Amino acid sequence: MLKLGVNVDHVATLRQARYKGREDIGEPDPVSAALLCEKAGAQGITVHLREDRRHIQDRDVYALREKVQTRLNLEMANVPEVIQFVLKVKPDIVCIVPERHFEVTTEGGLDALGQEKNLAGTVERLLEAGIEVSLFISANPHQIEAAARLKSPYIELYTEDFVKAVGTPGEEKELQRLIAGAKLAHQLGLKVNAGHGINYANVQKIYRVPHLDELNIGHSIISRAMTTGIEEAVRQMLKLMESYSL
């Protein structure tokens, strides 16, 4: 069964727009949102603790660690301060992502090949602490091979290039890249997640990609929640995901 991890960063973004420094009284609350996602059937909750703390705060992660019953996936950059924090909080899984300070959202995959030396120690420390590891990379064979050498149990394939190509002549080529990437990762013993830019209209186009374990979806679910409520938004996505069978 294809699992859904809901990224609730955007709930915190809305809270920070009015309650920066007063998060204790601020709404909407990403922790309450996460619990409703779980109630609606989501199999995991994802948050990105950015170095600049622009949305999710340390206190959110502590509260999520305490309350999330499914699986807490923490996205982070490979930087010492966040690694220290993560080793204390112990999410179930960490997804290492590239972080550029002026980006609005994560732009592109991690350079696991170029950063292999830096990543090796981090992956090892996290695994030793009992935290699973995923690397957010594009479907490039060199990056996938680097992830396998790093002994990361999971990769998360960056789907934004495909999503942007949907409806253009490049759609099939981008889809084939994801398919080839997922096959290679599977052959190398990696578990395969995918995410970024997935919405209700494009999610089923990804179903030709084999070996997918989990999709991480944020913006589209939180946006739909504005009109349907978050539980219904999650249920609608889960319904679409039922037909994945590869």
The least distance separating ligand PXP from the CB of residue 25, rounded to whole angstroms, comes to 25
| Residue 43-72 contact track with ligand PXP, rule CB under 6 A, x = bound | -----x------------------------
Q: Give whichever of 14 and 169 is closer to ligand PXP, judged by the CB atom.
A: 14
Closest CB to ligand PXP among residues 138, 216: 216
CA distance 105 to 103: 5
Exactly one of 75, 156, 160, 214 is catalytic; name it. 75
Strands 191-195 and 212-217: parallel
Residue 78 in contact with ligand PXP, rule: CB under 6 A: no
Q: Among the candidate windows 139-147, 166-174, 181-189, 191-199, which touches ligand PXP by CB under 6 A?
A: 191-199
Q: Least CB distance from residue 54 to ligand PXP, whole Å?
A: 12
Residue 55 a catalytic site member: no
- Is 196 annotated in the active site? yes
Q: Which residue stretch of 17-25, 174-182, 184-192, 195-203 sits at the interface with ligand PXP (rule: CB under 6 A)?
A: 195-203
Q: How far is the CB of 46 from ligand PXP (least distance, A)?
A: 7
Beta strands in 109-165 (DSSP E): 132-137, 154-158
193 close to 154: Cβ distance less than 8 angstroms: yes
Count CB neighbours of 124 within 10 A.
13
Query: Burial of 65 by CB count in 10 Å (0-12 exposed, 13-18 middle, 19+ buried)?
Result: middle
For residue 107, count CB atoms less than 10 angstroms from its CB and return exposed for 0-12, middle for 13-18, buried for 19 or more.
middle
Query: 48 catalytic, yes or no?
Result: yes
Q: Which of residues 205-234 bind ligand PXP (CB under 6 A)?
A: 216-220
Of the candidates 55, 99, 160, 196, the residue annotated as catalytic is 196
Our finding on whether 198 is near ligand PXP (CB under 6 A) is yes
Q: How far is the CB of 35 from ligand PXP (least distance, A)?
A: 19
Kindly state whether residue 136 participates in binding ligand PXP, applying the rule CB under 6 A. yes
When asked if residue 161 is in the footprint of ligand PXP (CB under 6 A), the reply is no
DSSP 71-107: -EEEEE-S-HHHHHHHHHH--SEEEE----TT-SS--
- Paired sense of beta strands 72-76 and 44-48, if any: parallel
